[in-house]
Amino acid sequence: MRRLLLVLLFCVLSVPASAVQPDEILKDPTLEARAREVGKELRCLVCQNQSIDDSDADLARDLRVLVRERIVAGDSNSEVIDYVVSRYGDFVLLNPPFKLKTYALWFGPGIIIAFGLFAIFIFFRRRGDDAAGGAPDALSEAEKEKLSRLIDGEGR
């Protein structure tokens, strides 16, 4: 039990570490800072919810190296991002642009949640109708008298 608590505590308190390897780091600190800035905007195509700086995947490493090569070659941050997007599409961006091709990325989760909430609403509404429809209504006075006569044998 104690070991489990220690593992849980470690998981909660651990901070995600950067996956950038020492051999990838540029010698010029300003260029390295730019590379990190660009890397935080690009999605790892393997992990899909991590930036390339946070991912240990081989493809993320290749993209980090590519970003650093382009920066050393003199490209601006936006030129590097445009180059990567031209090769991999808008999906490589952690914050994709709002355009026709990316509507599914922007609206898909909301539509799925709305559909789920609608389905839950319909489920509970039908369930409530079934429960309410199963209970008989109270008898009127005339019905009570007729029932009483039938029970006593007078209604034949």
Q: How far apart are CA 152 and CA 156, in angstroms?
A: 10
Pick the CATH number of 15-97 from 3.40.50.10320, 3.40.50.300, 1.10.8.640, 3.40.50.720: 1.10.8.640
The H-assigned helical ranges of 21-140 are: 29-39, 58-72, 77-88, 103-134
Which structure tokens are listed for 82?
Answer: 């445009």
Show Cβ contacts of residue 31 under 8 Å, excluding neighbours closer than 6 positions.
68, 71, 72
Tell me which of 15-29, 55-69, 88-102, 127-141 is least confident. Answer: 15-29
147-153: list long-range contacts, CB under 8 Å, 24+ apart: none
Q: How far apart are CA 93 and CA 68, in angstroms?
A: 17
Predicted TM-score (pTM) of the model is 0.56
Q: How far apart are CA 57 and CA 15, in angstroms?
A: 18
Name the 3-class secondary structure at 154.
Answer: coil
- Residue 13: its pLDDT value, please? 46
What would you report as the CA-atom Rg of the chain, rounded to the nearest whole angstrom?
A: 32
| Domain chopping of the chain, boundaries | 15-97, 102-152
Q: How far apart are CA 103 and CA 64, in angstroms?
A: 28
- pLDDT 10s digits, 3-58: 655 555 554 444 444 566 666 677 788 988 999 999 999 998 888 788 888 888 88
Q: How far apart are CA 24 and CA 61, in angstroms?
A: 9
Which structure tokens are listed for 59?
Answer: 């493809």
